[in-house]
A and B are shown apart, each in its own frame.
Chain A
């Protein structure tokens, strides 16, 4: 396996279910991200992990809970979602390197995403 892999590719869940999305990167990168992509809207950053530590949480509702057990794996735990949470959830990784103002992100590698439908 190479790059960033996400499972499952598709998920349909009821509003009372609990499910988890999984992401694994095989690139040796030091940062991992969760993004939400909805139709005709820009990618929305949800969570950032640098060296396994969460560094960003962009006002995401608590029904989304991330977990980063090591630098290669990232999970997004879902519970009591709403229909408006239906979207493509993308995992990404990057190899941040030291630049003039601190750590610089030289580009994301994205997985193919999980298409989530909440019914």
Chain B
């Protein structure tokens, strides 16, 4: 079993849709969670950083962590064509040091 799994997509949605991106993991020691967005020919950029369980909201983005199910989600409300990118989740144990990345989900938001 891979340490972090993501549906690779591609996921195509119409503009304005609510998007749900998900990661599952196997290591119950993971405490720190991040979501990155990567545009084509660019490096990943940090979107959300959360610690332990719960929700965190930033504009149109909401990150949700369910440690009991070993499952994290990123919700994008009112999706825009500019949200078309690959989304990577990353997580680390309680030492919060070297993060393990998922393979990424490619999202296309169609105008």
- B4 smallest CB distance to A (angstroms): 7
Q: Pick from A4, A90, A105, A113: contact of B99, CB below 8 A.
A: A105
Whether A105 contacts B97 by the Cβ 8 Å rule is yes
- A105 with B103: in contact, given A56-B98, A110-B43 (CB under 8 Å)? no
Whether B45 contacts A110 by the Cβ 8 Å rule is yes
Whether B95 contacts A107 by the Cβ 8 Å rule is no
- A45 with B88: in contact, given A108-B46, A110-B45, A112-B43 (CB under 8 Å)? no
Q: Pick from A41, A100, A102: contact of B103, CB below 8 A.
A: A41
Interface residue B8 (Cβ < 8 Å from any Cβ of A): yes
Whether A112 contacts B42 by the Cβ 8 Å rule is yes
- B88 smallest CB distance to A (angstroms): 7
Residues of B with C-beta under 8 A to A109: 45-46
Interface string of B76-92 (1 = CB under 8 A from A): 00000000000010101
Residues of A with C-beta under 8 A to B42: 112-113
Residues of A with C-beta under 8 A to B96: 99, 101-106
Interface residue B34 (Cβ < 8 Å from any Cβ of A): yes
Interface residue A11 (Cβ < 8 Å from any Cβ of B): no
User: How many angstroms from the CA of A111 to the CA of B69 in the assembled complex?
Assistant: 33
Residues of A with C-beta under 8 A to B94: 100-101
User: How many angstroms from the CA of A99 to the CA of B103 in the assembled complex?
Assistant: 28
Interface string of A56-83 (1 = CB under 8 A from B): 1000000000000000000000000000
- B46 smallest CB distance to A (angstroms): 4
- A43 with B41: in contact, given A99-B96, A109-B46 (CB under 8 Å)? no
User: How many angstroms from the CA of A73 to the CA of B45 in the assembled complex?
Assistant: 20
Whether B43 contacts A4 by the Cβ 8 Å rule is yes
- A70 smallest CB distance to B (angstroms): 22
Q: Pick from B4, B43, B97: contact of A42, CB below 8 A.
A: B4
Whether A107 contacts B34 by the Cβ 8 Å rule is yes
Whether B98 contacts A48 by the Cβ 8 Å rule is yes
Residues of B with C-beta under 8 A to A107: 34, 46, 49
Residues of B with C-beta under 8 A to A48: 98
Interface residues of A (CB under 8 A from B): 4, 40-43, 45, 48, 56, 90, 92, 96, 99-113
